[in-house]
Amino acid sequence: MREQWGSRTGFIVATIGAAVGLGNIWRFAYIAGENGGAAFLLVYTVFVVLIGLPLVIAELAIGRRSSGDAVAAFESGQRNALWRYAGWIGVVGAALILSYYAVIAGWAFKYFAGAATGDLWRAAHGGFGGYFDGFIASTFEPVFWQLLMLAATALVVARGVKGGIERINLWLMPVLALIVIGLAVFALSLPGSAKGVSFLFSPDWSALTRPSVYLNALGQAFFSLGVGMAVFVTYGSYLGRDIRLPGAAVTIAAGDTLFAMVAGLAIFPAVFALGGDPAAGPRLAFITFPQVLLQMPGGTWIGMIFFLLLTAAALTSMISLLEVPVAVAVERLGLSRGRAALVISAMVFLLGVPSALSYGVLTEWKLAGQPILDAVDHAISNFVLPVCGLAIAIYAGWRLAPSDSMAAADLLGSRLGPLWLWLLRLGVPLTIAVILLRSLKVL
């Protein structure tokens, strides 16, 4: 018998665990910081509601409808063999995201371990810039921490949907919610925190004239929700008919967005209170923020808790990414779950080594003028995820019969059904196409 989630709560918490990750903390803070803060947040939220939410519903519906792995989900009832590849793209894409995601998760884990022993603060006394650069430039260390995070991920996935994935999420997610709220309350109590709040919530409208803001908001919405790579297709395939998908999807999208905002409230007030630069880029969470912490009383404790948050949030997302190829290997190749988790995480590890070394021995290797890791992250978030999202919208909107896809989404007979369908048919594809074409400077 195919595995199923143990409870409705377990499923919701596991999907929120997939959505909440480095994207909500590390990536959200730096992308928001670089793209004008509040104006970005507004565009981002609109994309989450109008593009992300319909796609989350669609992915869950496609998965539950077929009750199979990601490849089976796009095959069922299809004569057109082309759709078969859609599932495979999701499988390969999830592995590719996991490959560099594990590297950044490893940085977080290294910082947490260092903060817990105190080594981090001693070693970084000369400044976090030099410390971080020294760390990511070394050959052994980033690879070591990347491997540890992948091993932990494989261990959980090997234990199965209910006994592994659901269980660890039910444990970790409430703790993460408490931690992020606690950190935000602390940051808001700092003198001068108001500047950080207004950076995030009072828009500077001039930022909206930059086309790159829209592309970055779109990419961030996909990445942070975790849509586009069949993760929700796979998680949805372990669902029974007794759960209503639209409500579940709203909970997931709202939880993910709220989490990013609260994490922003933990980071920006601290950064502004001590005069850090919000547009410091990917290094914001690893250089600017700890530098700020080092200057304030109790900051080393806050730092330890922050990097614990980052590591644990990353782990629950890594689990979701590994589950996509593992489910395919179990169901298509007949591997045992344990063996599939081991073999695939080993392959993902090798695939990620160039990313781990991209600031060290491979620093001369640039893709599109960027270090390997940065280039892969940008290409995936701003291009591959939107294109795959477009394919999912077309599949659920046009390829399946309307009555079939609306029934799969629990929207048959609902007044929201046609709205959802037409968003998938026209709204989502057109918006994505216009933003992508504009960024290629065609329109």
The residues in 305-344 that bind ligand TRP, with binding defined as CB under 6 A, are 317, 320-321
| Alpha helices, H only, 189-236 | 194-201, 211-225, 231-236
Rounded Cα distance between 265 and 196, Å, is 7
Two tokens at 330?
């179990």
Two tokens at 100?
């560099």
> How many of the other CB atoms lie within 10 Å of CB of 416?
13
Closest separation in Å from C-beta 22 to ligand TRP: 4
Interface map 59-98 toward ligand TRP (x if CB under 6 A): --------------------------------------x-
Two tokens at 410?
């629990």
Nearer to ligand TRP, 164 or 417 (CB): 164
Nearer to ligand TRP, 200 or 406 (CB): 200
| Alpha helices, H only, 189-335 | 194-201, 211-225, 231-236, 245-273, 289-294, 299-332
Interface map 94-133 toward ligand TRP (x if CB under 6 A): ---x------------------------------------
Closest separation in Å from C-beta 312 to ligand TRP: 12
Rounded Cα distance between 358 and 366, Å, is 8
Closest separation in Å from C-beta 146 to ligand TRP: 16
The residues in 166-225 that bind ligand TRP, with binding defined as CB under 6 A, are 223-224
Rounded Cα distance between 159 and 258, Å, is 30
Nearer to ligand TRP, 263 or 287 (CB): 263
The residues in 374-393 that bind ligand TRP, with binding defined as CB under 6 A, are 385
Identify the residue whose tokens are 């995070």: 149
Stretch that binds ligand TRP, among 228-236, 348-356, 358-366, 369-377 (CB under 6 A): 228-236
Stretch that binds ligand TRP, among 19-27, 206-214, 243-251, 401-409 (CB under 6 A): 19-27
Closest separation in Å from C-beta 231 to ligand TRP: 4
Rounded Cα distance between 329 and 323, Å, is 10
CB 316 within 8 A of CB 20: yes
Task: Supply the angle between the helices 141-158 and 299-332 in degrees, to the nearest 10.
Answer: 60
Nearer to ligand TRP, 200 or 384 (CB): 384
Binding site for ligand TRP (CB under 6 A): 18-19, 21-24, 97, 223-224, 226, 228-229, 231, 317, 320-321, 385
